[in-house]
Structures are given as structure tokens and as C-alpha cells.
Amino acid sequence: MSDPMSDPMTGFDAIIARDQRVEPRDEMPDAYRATLIRQIAQHAHSEIIGMQPEGYWITRAPSLRRKAILLAKVQDEAGHGLYLYAAAETLGADRDDLTDALMSGRQKYSSIFNYPSLTFADVGVIGWLVDGAAICNQVPLCRTSYGPYARAMIRICKEESFHQRQGYELLMTMMRGTGSQREMVQDAVDRWWWPALMMFGPPDGESPNSARSMAWKIKRHTNDELRQRFVDMSVPQADALGVALPDPELRWNAERGRHDFGEIDWAEFRRVVGGDGPCNAERVAVRRAAHEDGAWVREAAAAHAAKSAGRAA
């Protein structure tokens, strides 16, 4: 413990300056709380909506082994959503309100999940590139300044790393298969590469809240820095796999010691984030139907809890 007489900084500012964690009982600025609720909720929504493009393939998996792996992976994503909604609740957010915000479009989820998964190779590419990009984004969040969020991210990152490996292993297997399997993999890479780069958000110059999030140590690196890391990490993985990344401008820059890459289609990014992607309406409709179908479970659980509480009293 520091001596308040010798160190004038106390409370929230001191926790941030000393790189400690802010806990639910601590006082915090309203804007810090609101920023975190929004970020954690959008992250939770992304985990839940992200179950859909791969969940579609559970009943269509080519073998029992692939089905079991995919089922476990999609179930993990539901768990991630649960840890994150629970972390948002420690900030005073209401779970029903968050669910409603997702279903009504008041809050967003990662735009990557508005693209369709057309073949089983997409399952592998989602694991490799989408979970891979998520790892780049999320590993620094294990040190984010809000304690419950940081602790949730530690477990999530361990599971994401399994997800990425299973995706890569599936692609390796397909690349050792027939010519048409290799074509399926290349086609999936062509469709997912650019949307994966968009997962890091707008360029730094157009990311107005970034600086404040960095000052609060919610964020540790800028969007462009994380995107660059992801590109540098993916290039040798693509080489090992034997696929081409669909960017004619992608090349090693010896001076920078990093890869240069082409310009992202930001108009497409804005269009998909704005609701006009290939699957936006379907994703929200499926989520809403699942919520309505689950109403009897919530009612039964609430009735059971009330009965148990009555008995205990």
C-alpha cells in the first residue's frame, strides 16, 4: 500500500498509473464504465453470433471426428459469450437489456460474422484466420485495466488458441487431399482474408475513441499495429499451408522488417457494419428465434428458483 501523504494520486487514476486492475467495487469515471460495458457487450454478442456460420456445418460435417471437434468449438464460443456477459454485469449492465440491444440492433457485433460459410473449408479458414485475428486482438486484453474482463480473457484466449489450431489442422488435411479440396481451401481463403483484416477496426486516423481507451489501458495497441502483427503472423502460415493470400501488394519490406499490404475496402467495411452485409438480417433473425424458442426454459428456471427459495424460507 502506498502512503497517501507522499503520493497525491489516489483512487482510479492511481490504479491506472500503477498498472493495477480496476475491480467492480472501485470508483471509476462514468465514461470508463460506459466504454467497457459497450466493448464487453459487443464482444459477448460477437461470440454468440459467431456460433452461427460454423454451427451451420455441425450437421453437415464429413466425419464423426470433425463433427465432435466442431461441436466442441461452437460450444466454447457460447461459453465465451457467457463469461463476457457476466463481466458486463459486474459493471451494472442488465443481461436482458444487453440481449435486447443485440436483437434490436442497438449494439453491434463483429462484422466478420455477416459473411456466409459456403463450404466445409470455411470451417478451417474461420478457425485459422478469424480465431487467429481474435487472438491478436485478445491476448493484449488479458492485461486490460478492468479485472473481470482481463480474467475472462485469459481463459478465452487459451480456448481460441485451440480453435485456431484445429482450423489450421483441418486445412492441412484438406491441402493433402484432392485437387478440388485444395481449390475449396483457396476459395475460402480468398473470401475470408480481407474481412479478417477488417476485424481490427478502422485505421488509427479514423478511430476517435482509441486514444482514450489507450490512456485508460483498456486497449494496449492501436488497430493498425494489431492488424500488422496479424499479417506478419499469417504470411508464413499461408506459405506452410500452400495457399496464396489474395493481395497482389503483399510483400516483405526489409526496411520496416514487416510486410506491406494492400488497401482495405473501407467502403465495404462501413456497408457491412452499417447492416448491409450478406447475412446481417439472417444472423439477427436466427438469434431472435433462438431467444423466443428458449423462453420456456427461462420461465421454468425462474419458477424453479422461486420455488427453491420459497422452500428454503
Q: Contact residues for Fe ion (CB under 5 A)?
A: 47, 77, 80, 131, 160, 163
In the complex with Fe ion, the residue whose CB is nearer, 73 or 227, is: 73
User: Cα–Cα distance between 35 and 93 in angstroms, integer?
Assistant: 12
Grid cell for residue 18 = 500503477
In the complex with Fe ion, the residue whose CB is nearer, 81 or 201, is: 81
Consecutive H or E run containing 186? helix 179-198
Residue 117 C-beta: closest distance to Fe ion, Å:
14
In the complex with Fe ion, the residue whose CB is nearer, 122 or 160, is: 160
Full DSSP string of 211-269: HHHHHTTS--S-HHHHHHHHHHHHHHHHHHHT---S-TT-EEETTTTEEE-PPP-HHHH
Residue 149 C-beta: closest distance to Fe ion, Å:
14
In the complex with Fe ion, the residue whose CB is nearer, 47 or 122, is: 47
User: Cα–Cα distance between 151 and 85 in angstroms, integer?
Assistant: 13
Residues linked to residue 22 through DSSP beta bridges, in sequence order: 146
The residues, ordered by sequence, that sit 6+ positions from 241 with a Cβ below 8 Å of its Cβ are 168, 171, 172, 175, 185
Residue 138 C-beta: closest distance to Fe ion, Å:
8
Residue 108 C-beta: closest distance to Fe ion, Å:
17
Grid cell for residue 300 = 421454468
Residue 53 C-beta: closest distance to Fe ion, Å:
12
In the complex with Fe ion, the residue whose CB is nearer, 77 or 122, is: 77
In the complex with Fe ion, the residue whose CB is nearer, 15 or 74, is: 74
The CA-atom distances, in angstroms, between 277 and each of 161, 272, 283 are 28, 4, 10
User: Cα–Cα distance between 131 and 165 in angstroms, integer?
Assistant: 9
Residue 114 C-beta: closest distance to Fe ion, Å:
17
